[in-house]
Amino acid sequence: MYKKSLIGRALILVLVLTLFAIGVNAMSSRPVEENSKTITILQTSDIHGNIYPWAYKTDQKDDNIGLAKVYTIVKDVREDNGNTLLVDSGDMIQGTTLTNIFKDRDDVKHPMMNVMNLMGYDAWVLGNHEFNFGLNTLENIIADADFPVLSANIHYKNEDKLFVKPYTIKDIDGIKVAILGLTTPNIPRWDGDKVATLEFEDMSATAKRYIPEMNQKGADIIIALAHAGLEGEGHKTGGDKVRKVAAENPEITAIFAGHNHELVNQTINGVLIIAPEDKGHQVSRVDLTIAKKDGNWTVVNKKGTHLETKNVEAASEVLELAKDYHQETVNYVRTPIGEAVGDFTPQDEIKGIPAAQIQDTPLVDLINRIQLEATGADISAAALFDSNATIKAGPVSIKDTALIYKYPNTLYTVEISGKELKDYMEWTAAYFNTYRQGDLTISFDPEIRGYNYDMFAGINYKINISKPAGERITDLTFKGKPVKDNQTFTLALNNYRYGGLKASGILHNDPSFKSEKTIQQYIIDYIRENKTINPAVDNNWKIIGADLAHPQRDQVIELINAGIIEIPAKNRSWNAKSININDPEVQATLNKYKKIDILSTNDFHGNLRGGYEAGAAKFAAVINYYKKQNPKGTILVSGGDSYQGTPVSTLNHGAPVIELFNYLGYTASAIGNHEFDWGQDVLAEITQQADYKFVAANLYNKNTNQVVDYAKPYIITEVNGVKVGIIGISTPDTLTSTMPTHIANLEFRDPATIINKIAPQVKSAGANLIIVLSHMPGNTDWSTGEVSGELIEVAKKVKDINGMIGGHSHDTVTATINGIPVVEAYKHGRRIGHLSYFVNTDTNEVVAIKPTTHAVRKTKLNISLDKKAQAIVDKYQKAIEPIMSEILTTSKVALKRKYNDISNIGALVTDAVKEYTQADIVFQNAGGLRVDIPAGKVKVEQIYSLLPFGNTAVTAKMTGQQIIEILEQSFNLDKGMMQLSGLKVIYDSNKREYNRVVSVQLADGTPLQLDKKYKVATNNFLAVGGDKFSTFKEVEFTNSYKEIKEIVIEYLRAQDTINPRVDNRVLKENETVVEPAA
């Protein structure tokens, strides 16, 4: 009893103490909940009409822009903290084709307001570009806003009336947050006429005036939305500087700035200042921790961050709301208006320095020409508003005009004196930094925006950038005569530039003409009317006073373009300081990084003679030209299939090609399928005659289980102090694309597996750079730019590789796959591939430059043919000339191949074999016919080029069923369509594979009988299952040992003229072939 009572009392005591503890903790925590709160403020700025993640000026997706992506972030933050405000710091309604289209539409809500309403904006301050369309348009747009539109420092002239509300006060969970709007007072400089009834005051003075009023109305916290930059743009009182606002108004908790499109996150005088970039790249976030002290809410902590939108999904609600606006805009920008004959800007020599800002170009000349024609002015001025602005050769649509002229500027003319012209030109020429001795590049003053640099038409002039700003314009002439200060001219320019020049005192007269339509519309109309535009440039100006020549300049530029040397950026200038050769960092980088160039050829196929093909002499000259660009660091390699294909090489088992390659200094070669055409013994002899190494890491001898003894799996060669490893790969497709009996003892192992096995060994052996030299095919879809093929698929699977070279497909491929530069250089020496690298000798870092190819046959290089290379060809050609030059016959028509159809040249070859063998039916693989022959005289040499492989005619008895099987496989077109003689076939390409043959007749119309045997002739390549035609292997062929080319030569020699005809040999169902007239 006693124990029970004691235990019970103890339990009660514990319970009471526990409850007391809970109550105390609860009471002690209550004041914290009541007295400390967090308010989050999210800010956008300079959205410039971007809702969808889409760039209308290029008509392409842009994953880094748009309110749709912003809203996803806003929703997430609001979910975490209900005490969240969303504000915008201006420049919302101008900047895209979408905002141009809908600026004055009264049939729909303005798209930007509609979306901002959906997103629940709490306030928006007006930016300078809000006034681009005039006050009437702006007022109509503001009427669509369901949120406060602010600007405290804009009022009507001579009236005590503000243009919009000065501030708003929001109650957030019992805390009153005052939001003050401030707008840069420089707007009259840019949009003078459009704001003629308004006055813009000093932002800091305005803030000082309104702070007491907001406090009097109960504001606990004051924040400001300021459409202005930290440092301003030269306002007479400094009233355009956010820095000044913060310095003079510490009562403001935070300023949400904009205008400069620059990230800001700093504190001045206790005032947090934050700003995102433009277009919705980021959302600025400020978290304010607020506690009650002495009965008043006080900010005890504030933190600013930027939330990136790039990897954020676009909000479906915004996309749905804006889809009609978006689609109408897309349809509009895709409207075709004309055709450009050529490109309107040259390729930039240096990444980050637009060529169109340092030289005269057709693009700016086009704008100026349009302005001159529209106004009849003497002189025109225009700027490049976008560093990527251009018009490419081909169709031109409205989006192209939006890219080259993105602002809604209108066209003005004004009468100016010669002195005003010179002052204007000196003002704009201040854009360039002054040249220093040793500068290798031209740079731009980071305090001057690129859109403030104008280029002129109607006058000739030079800009001497070795002189200080204000003294740069020289040789200024009008119609060939020097411009005098007292001369008078009519100048065409945009309204924005006029306003700025007038405000700064450079221009004095009022405009003599003001256009109703925008300059962009003038450009659209001009192209529409002319239909075709030519990239004409008059080169009426140039930059002088900058000696950029230096022996190391080319290498420095390559380092810049590779991203190793960075062009200094400051503010919104992407080119704020010139790269100087005397800079110790530049010299250190030059010493540290070694340039390695790998030139490649593939599928040369013995094309030594010039004419239609490039020929050895031009081929060698182009290669030597590129080798001389980097004589210490260039390697030359071959992707295989080098020797077989032309009489001069074939009859000499590749000897002239070997001699040429030895002369050019090849380092290594892959082994292509046609290297086996003469058998492995001949291939082994070739490897002995060559001064270069053959590499084939995946080519194994089945008998020894080792890599073949005439090749190495890889080699390492040292150039320019860098060890380059070269791994060789032969395509497994060789198994079906060369004579099977020639490779019966070989195994072609999986390329990716072998590369991943060998690469670490090559690296361990000391290679700094590892290249795969292969005869693997790649392909380019020229309509889409997409690449495919074995070369690409293998690149996706390998690692520790710095580059891959291909061949076999006779295509041009340049791509970067899986971080690996990949190249294939067409065929016959028409192009050469080029992989370039910089290797850091301290760290072994490898920086790859974009792969490319160079034209050989159609080269534009100013070079002389290589005499030594030509002498090699002449020596071998002379020996075979008597044979090769024989004229066999005259063809009334061009003899052309068709890989996936029956061709007249295929008919010729198979008819010749049919006559020689007296077979019922003849088959010839399409890939075995290698060249076309033009109408006219046909020579022996052309037949050797047509049929270069040395294949012989074979015959056997085959059943009708076996013939059907061959035809069915042919109609899959995996290896092209089988050329044939002795048959008439109808097939249906819409049916499934191996079920496409509809009917088969012999040449005389007799139906083919499945169980009857027919005499069939073909070549010995197909007879042993070449091109995967395994049905041929079911029968035993008799070899005539007569080469197909000799049969064709004799056939032609017996005829005065030829006109081979397809004769409906193969037809698709319901098709009739009409033979062309001879």
Kindly state whether residue 1077 falls inside one of the protein's structural domains: no
Q: Are 318 and 341 contained in the same domain? A: no
Kindly state whether residue 652 falls inside one of the protein's structural domains: yes
Q: Are 961 and 1059 contained in the same domain? A: yes
Q: Are 757 and 615 contained in the same domain? A: yes
Kindly state whether residue 577 falls inside one of the protein's structural domains: no
Across 687-761, the runs of DSSP E, i.e. the strands, are 693-694, 699-701, 706-707, 714-719, 722-729, 746-748
CB 550 within 8 A of CB 440: yes
Backbone angles phi and psi of 721, in degrees to 5: 80, 5
Q: Of 825, 856, 876, which one is at a domain's C-terminal end?
A: 876
In total, how many domains does the chain have? 4
Q: How far apart are the first and last CA of the chain?
A: 129
3-state SS string for 191-232: HCHHHCCEEECCHHHHHHHHHHHHHHCCCCEEEEEEECCCCC
Kindly state whether residue 574 falls inside one of the protein's structural domains: no
Q: Are 269 and 370 contained in the same domain? A: no
Please give the pLDDT value at position 896. Answer: 97
Q: Which residues contact 991 (CB under 8 A, 6 or more apart)?
A: none
| Structure tokens belonging to residue 10 | 């103890």
Q: Are 285 and 270 contained in the same domain? A: yes
Q: Are 325 and 372 contained in the same domain? A: no
How far is 574 from 568, CA to CA, in rounded Å? 7
Please give the pLDDT value at position 10. Answer: 39
Q: What is the CATH number of the domain that holds 371?
A: 3.90.780.10
What digits encode the pLDDT tens for the residues 495-535? 999 999 998 999 999 999 999 899 999 999 999 999 999 99
Nearest to residue 806, comparing CAs of 624, 926, 639?
A: 639
Please give the pLDDT value at position 30. Answer: 35
Q: What is the CATH number of the domain that holds 603?
A: 3.60.21.10
Backbone angles phi and psi of 299, in degrees to 5: -75, 120
Question: What is the DSSP-derived secondary structure letter of residue 58?
Answer: T
What digits encode the pLDDT tens for the residues 873-915? 999 999 999 999 999 999 999 999 999 999 999 999 999 999 9
Angle formed by the axes of helices 316-333 and 67-80, to 10°?
A: 170
Please give the pLDDT value at position 1076. Answer: 55
Kindly state whether residue 263 falls inside one of the protein's structural domains: yes
- Amino acid identity, position 860: K
Q: Are 654 and 752 contained in the same domain? A: yes
Please give the pLDDT value at position 7. Answer: 36
Average pLDDT of span 10-30 = 36
Kindly state whether residue 348 falls inside one of the protein's structural domains: yes
How far is 164 from 183, CA to CA, in rounded Å? 11
Q: Is 551 helix (H, G, I), strand (E, B) or coil?
A: coil
Structural domain containing residue 510: 335-550
What confidence tier does 783 reach under pLDDT thresholds 50, 70, 90?
A: confident
Please give the pLDDT value at position 312. Answer: 96
Q: Are 112 and 260 contained in the same domain? A: yes
Q: Are 305 and 342 contained in the same domain? A: no
Nearest to residue 497, comparing CAs of 409, 432, 429?
A: 409
Question: Does the structure show a pLDDT above 50 at 4?
Answer: no
Nearest to residue 511, comparing CAs of 157, 130, 194?
A: 194
Q: Which residues contact 619 (CB under 8 A, 6 or more apart)?
A: 660, 829, 856, 866, 869
Q: Are 369 and 389 contained in the same domain? A: yes
Please give the pLDDT value at position 19. Answer: 36
| Structure tokens belonging to residue 898 | 């068709």
What digits encode the pLDDT tens for the residues 908-939? 999 999 999 999 999 999 999 999 999 999 99
Q: How many other C-beta atoms lie within 10 A of the C-beta of residue 80?
A: 9
Q: Is 1024 helix (H, G, I), strand (E, B) or coil?
A: coil
- For residue 735, the surrounding DSSP H or E stretch is helix 734-737
Share of the chain above pLDDT 70, in %: 96
Across 316-417, the runs of DSSP E, i.e. the strands, are 336-340, 379-383, 394-397, 410-417
CB 576 within 8 A of CB 496: no
How far is 7 from 153, CA to CA, in rounded Å? 77
What digits encode the pLDDT tens for the residues 62-95? 999 999 999 999 999 999 999 999 999 999 999 9
Question: Does the structure show a pLDDT above 80 at 956?
Answer: yes
Please give the pLDDT value at position 26. Answer: 33
How far is 594 from 155, CA to CA, in rounded Å? 63
Q: Are 993 and 928 contained in the same domain? A: yes
What digits encode the pLDDT tens for the residues 239-298? 999 999 999 999 999 999 999 999 999 999 999 999 999 999 999 999 999 999 988 999
CB 1008 within 8 A of CB 1000: yes
Kindly state whether residue 699 falls inside one of the protein's structural domains: yes
Question: Does the structure show a pLDDT above 50 at 115?
Answer: yes
Please give the pLDDT value at position 547. Answer: 95
- Amino acid identity, position 631: P
What digits encode the pLDDT tens for the residues 167-220? 999 999 999 999 999 999 999 999 988 999 999 999 999 999 999 999 999 999
Calculate Rg over the CA atoms of the chain: 38
Q: Which residues contact 938 (CB under 8 A, 6 or more apart)?
A: 887, 888, 889, 890, 891, 895, 1052, 1058
What digits encode the pLDDT tens for the residues 750-779? 999 999 999 999 999 999 999 999 999 999
| Structure tokens belonging to residue 748 | 């072609």
Output the DSSP codes for 567-630: PP-BTTBS--S--BTT-HHHHHHHHHEEEEEEEEE---TT--S-SSS-HHHHHHHHHHHHHHHS
| Structure tokens belonging to residue 787 | 């690449």
Question: Does the structure show a pLDDT above 60 at 623?
Answer: yes
How far is 778 from 1039, CA to CA, in rounded Å? 36
Output the DSSP codes for 841-898: TTT--EEEEEEEEEESTT--------HHHHHHHHHHHHHHHHHHT-EEEEESS-B---
How far is 947 from 928, CA to CA, in rounded Å? 7
The mean predicted confidence, pLDDT, of the chain is: 93
Please give the pLDDT value at position 21. Answer: 39
Please give the pLDDT value at position 17. Answer: 37
How far is 1019 from 1029, CA to CA, in rounded Å? 12
Kindly state whether residue 566 falls inside one of the protein's structural domains: no
What confidence tier does 12 reach under pLDDT thresholds 50, 70, 90?
A: very low
Question: Does the structure show a pLDDT above 50 at 11?
Answer: no
| Structure tokens belonging to residue 961 | 């069923």
| Structure tokens belonging to residue 653 | 């088992």
Task: Determine the longest span between alpha carbons in the chain, in angstroms.
Answer: 137
CB 568 within 8 A of CB 436: no
Nearest to residue 594, comparing CAs of 840, 836, 842, 847?
A: 840
C-alpha distance from residue 9 to each of 4, 20, 338, 463, 729 (Å):
9, 16, 98, 100, 89
Q: Are 312 and 193 contained in the same domain? A: yes
